[in-house]
Each structure stands twice: as C-alpha cells, then as structure tokens.
Amino acid sequence: MASSRLEKIGTIYTRTRGLLQSGAMSWNDRPLWYDIYEAFPPKEEPRYDRPAPNMQVKEILYEEDIIRAKVHSHFKSVGTVNLRNNQTQTLTQKFIDCYNKLGAQYGNEADSQILFDETLDILKKERELKAIEASEDSSAGVNITTNFTEAKKQQAVNINVKDIFKD
C-alpha cells in the first residue's frame, strides 16, 4: 500500500502514515501538512469514492458582469493586460467606469443598449485623441534622436590605433 500512488488504494495521509510506520520515511522527513492533518482531521475522510455533497450552488452575478460580457462579445480581443501595473486600467474596466457614469447621469430610464453605444463613442474619441497625441510625441522623439545622431556624425573624431596603445 505504501508504494502505490493510485488514489483508489488510500489517501495521501494513509500512505504517508504507512511510510512513517514502516520506517520507509523518517519522522524528521514527514511533510509539513502531516502534523496539521493529525491535529485537525477533516470530518469526513477525503476519499475518491465519497459521494459529492448535495448542495445548492449559489450563482454570483454582479451588475458589471453583464456589461463585461457585452464588451468582450463586441471587441473579441481587448489586448494584453500587465498584471504588475496597477496604475493603468484595462479597456474593460474603463468601459465599465464610463458606462456607470453615463448610467448615473441618465438615471433609471436609460436603455442599456443606448448607454453601451454612447460609451463606445466616448472611448473611441478618447482613443483617437490618445493616438494623435502619441503620434505627435513619437515624431518629436524621432526628431530629437535624428538631430542627435546627425550632430555626432558631424563631429569627425579621428582615432588612431597607435595612439590608443601608446604608453
């Protein structure tokens, strides 16, 4: 039993206990979870043949999940997300924030499709403005670098190899 890895033969706890009792595993090499499992054993042993509990699973659905589903079905691809960067919002989060602001302005009588279309228009305008600003910034950056490289080229530096190794 201790040498088998098949889950039908025993749980990981019973196999580890068997290894410890037989001396195949020393007491000092026991896993960290072993002491915790012995101190706080589960009410029912976690076996593969235990029937699943008959419980009602609650559906958790937030209001913004419906909006998020519409956004992802409309855009198909929302781009990559850098999980380490907390300063920038994803396209979906920007959309939800803008949608909620418009919903607060119009109140309860606003139709969800009208809000969706207006939010799309607002984000498209913001994206166009950012694209224009980015193109202006990138062209300025190119001019600066080209001017710098041209100035370097104009400075003709004559280096002689004999002068480098001279004492």
CA 94: distance to chain centroid?
16
Is the Cβ–Cβ distance between 48 and 7 less than 8 Å? yes
Output the CA angle 79-83-86, nearest 5 degrees. 105
Tokens 């302005």 map to which residue? 105
25: pLDDT confidence band, cut at 50, 70 and 90? very high
150: pLDDT confidence band, cut at 50, 70 and 90? low
pLDDT of residue 140: 47
Other C-beta atoms closer than 10 Å to the C-beta of 29 total 9
The DSSP secondary-structure symbol of 109 reads: T
pTM: 0.48
Domain ranges of the chain: 1-55, 63-154
Mean pLDDT of the 48-53 span: 83
CA 96: distance to chain centroid?
18
- Element of type H or E holding 125: helix 112-154
114: pLDDT confidence band, cut at 50, 70 and 90? confident
Rounded distance between C-alpha atoms, residue 18 and residue 2, angstroms: 6
Rounded distance between C-alpha atoms, residue 117 and residue 112, angstroms: 9
Please, is 74 exposed, middle or buried when counting C-beta atoms within 10 Å of its C-beta (0-12, 13-18, 19+)?
A: exposed
- Element of type H or E holding 139: helix 112-154
Mean pLDDT of the 138-153 span: 48
pLDDT of residue 145: 44
Tokens 């072993």 map to which residue? 34
